[in-house]
Amino acid sequence: MASSRRGLLVIGAGGMGLAIARRLGAGQLVILADCSQKVLDSAASSLRDDGHEIETQIVDVSSYESVENLAKFASGAARLNTVINTAGISPGMGTARKIYEVDLLGTANVIDAFLEVMPSGSSLTSIASIAGHLVQKAISPELEKHLAISPREQLLGHDATDLGGSSELAYGIAKWGNIVRVQAAVRQGQKKGVRLNTVSPGVIMTAMIREELKSELGDQIRKMIPETPIPRAGCADEIASLVAFLSGPDAAFINGADFVIDGGATAASRFSNPILELV
């Protein structure tokens, strides 16, 4: 029998995930999931010190079986009012294959598994990236449709998703896949009474972006920050504020939307030189 307790699930317990859990977790059971036991333990300890009640579980989002097991565990522990998927890796953290498996297939796995268990009136938000908006010339209408609606078992089989190619391009395609996959899933969500949205951050100062600053993209990212109309990096708390809005009653009519939060970087790139080149 499903629990009547209110619950928040955050997949990915790093910088953004931790900020979101802290912002939204008061008064409900917080379930954290991550592929790293070390990251999970650190995040759980920090939140418990703040008075939050925490459960944790290891998950590999690239494995549907692992995500399905998480969905069963989480929905048995609490009534999942809110699910936030922040799991992902950046170009400097893995090969194109790994990025597609985690960032693209992982999102599809989360959508498919959690729409089976989330109650009516709940909300699922997935963290995408402005990288998806910056690779549009590499995404044909046919590829976009494939990213949006192909069965998850076939998702990585498109010729344009070159598993041995550029990790930077893979990241952008995967993140656009996040956005259109969520948009396509609103019909599934309609049947369950679940809203789905995405958030596309720009440069947000987390441990992940600090690692990316050491990669081949590091110089471009450093150059991008002062050229952004709001010339600074964002912080994880700003992402948490937007996610809190999207997860709450004030956003009850928002569904299938993508929210760019990047200080104006994407908008500025539309009508002038791109701030960040991924293609």
Domain-by-domain residue ranges, the chain?
6-260
pLDDT of residue 273: 62
Residue 189, classed as helix, strand or coil, is helix
> What pLDDT does 274 receive?
59
Contact present, 86 and 103 (Cβ < 8 Å):
no
Contacts of 194 (CB under 8 A, 6+ apart): 115, 118, 120, 121, 122, 123, 124
SS3 at position 163? coil
DSSP state of 6: E
Nearest C-alpha neighbor of 158 from the set 169, 145, 175 = 145
Please give the pLDDT value at position 21: 98
**Yes or no: is domain 6-260 CATH 3.20.20.70?**
no
Query: Which residue(s) pair with 195 in the sheet?
Result: 123
Give residue 102's pLDDT: 98
In the chain, which stretches have pLDDT less than 70?
1-2, 273-279
Bridging pattern class, strands 123-127 and 29-34: unpaired
- The angle that helices 141-149 and 167-184 make with each other, rounded to 10 degrees, is 60
| Beta pairing class for 123-127 and 79-85 | parallel
Q: Which residues pair with 174 in a beta bridge?
A: none
| pLDDT value, residue 17 | 98
Q: How many CA atoms lie within 13 A of 132 on its CB side?
A: 24
